[in-house]
Every structure is written in structure tokens, then in C-alpha cells.
Amino acid sequence: MKGACFLQVFNLIVLASSFAFAYDPSPLQEFCVAITDTNNGVFLNGKLCKDPKLATANDFFFSGLNIPKNTSNSVGSVVTPVNVDQIPGLNTLGISLVRIDYAPNGGLNAPHIHPRATEILLVLEGVLYVGFVTSSPNNRLIAKTLYPGDVFVFPIGLIHFQQNVGKTNAVAFAGLSSQNPGVIAIANAVFGSNPLIKADVLTRAFQLSNKIVKYQQSRF
């Protein structure tokens, strides 16, 4: 009897875990091209989708990832996403892609989180210093210097970053395990929230002076 109860509990835990990690819906058909036109959509798999008979090659197509981006901004990097907003045919397929361009001598894809995706990064050009930080209580930094052809993985939900430590432009491509992985830039979220977080909260959390916190908030 006890064995049967244990088996039932175990099955429930496994079932709950499977739901907890199902961030993107599992497709119930070959594809489900997302549309916004409520008059011409077919409701499939929890999304409003184009009739599969009307799908075209352009629903699964994006062009332009070969074009370098202008990295002359405050952080020295540009992320070009290819997710369900750019390719409607990605809807329900659970994947997306980005190109990242980095300026020479320190161009930074600043510390950030993808709340719904693990990321796998491939370096095409340049030299990148990359890493992620494990969760509390250890907060251990796992980091490495990457060269063209190197691949690195950033686990879902962990703070991670990449910085160009070379003297030339750098380019990387990253695949993400969600059609819409989301991004939370740490500095922007903390110092540039709308409305702003009370300065006293941030002075205590970061052990900074009120003046520095106010300055940082003005920057973001």
C-alpha cells in the first residue's frame, strides 16, 4: 500500500515538473503561423493562426542577419532578434535566434536574463569574454574567453553577459529555446524602472550613497 502511494506521489511530482518547465506550448500541428487579424484567423493550439492552407514561404523567412550593425552606443553592442515577431511561422515551435554585434575594445552585451529560454552562443568573429552567475547562496561566476568557432551555453533564468576583449569588431549568433525568450537588462530594470524604485531601497541593496543612486537613475 505504501509503495502504491509513493508511486502516485512520484507520478504527480513528475507531472508537475513537466508543466513547470513547459515554457512554450507544445505544437499540436505541424505549424501555426501567428496572425493578428481576428477576422481571418483559425484558433489552434491556444493561438490565433493563419489557415495552414494559406501559409507561404515568407511566413518562415527572415533576411538581413549578414548585415553588421552600428555599435556606436553607450554599451557598444547591438542585438538583432529573430523571434516570433520577425518570423510568424516560429509560433509554437519553441526556438528563436539573435545576432549580436560588439564594438572593439570592450563592446558589451550587458548583464541580463532571459526568463523563458536557455541560450547557446556561437562566436563568428572576434574574442569574447562571457559568463553567467549561479543562483544564491553561491552566486558563482562561470566564465570563459571565447574565440571564433567556440560555443558557450547560458542556462535559463541566470544573469549572463558577453564582452568584446579584442581590438576588432566581434560577431556572435545565439539560439534560444523559446519563440519569445524575453530579456531583462539588469541595470535598466534596477535603475530605469517606471516609476523609479525608491532611492532608499537601492542605497541599502547596493550599499551606495543616495547621490550615486540618483545619478544612476538619471542615466537610465
End-to-end Cα, the chain, rounded Å = 61
Of 2-16, 30-44, 132-146, 165-179, where does mean pLDDT reach its minimum?
Answer: 2-16
Cα separation of 57 and 148, whole Å? 32
pLDDT digits (tens, 9 = 90+) for 57-76: 999 999 999 999 999 999 99
Residue 206 has pLDDT above 50, yes or no: yes
Give me the amino acid identity at 116.
R
pLDDT at 51: 84
Phi and psi angles of residue 186, each rounded to the nearest 5 degrees, phi first: -60, -55
Banded model confidence at residue 47, pLDDT cuts 50, 70, 90? low
Q: What is the pLDDT of residue 197?
A: 97
Instruction: Report DSSP state, residue 134.
Output: P
Residue whose C-alpha cell is 558577453: 162
Average confidence (pLDDT) over 188-212: 96
Place of cell 567556440: 150
The pLDDT score that the predictor gives to residue 38 is 63
Q: What is the pLDDT of residues 123-162, one digit of tens each?
A: 999 999 999 999 999 999 999 999 999 999 999 999 999 9
pLDDT of res. 92:
87
- Show the domains of the chain with their CATH numbers: 2-59 (no CATH), 63-191 (2.60.120.10)
Number of CB atoms found within 10 A of residue 182's CB? 14
- The mean pLDDT of the chain is 88
Inform me whether the pLDDT recorded for 10 exceeds 60: no
In the chain, what percentage of residues exceed pLDDT 90? 72
CB 80 within 8 A of CB 65: yes
* Res. 173: pLDDT tops 90: yes
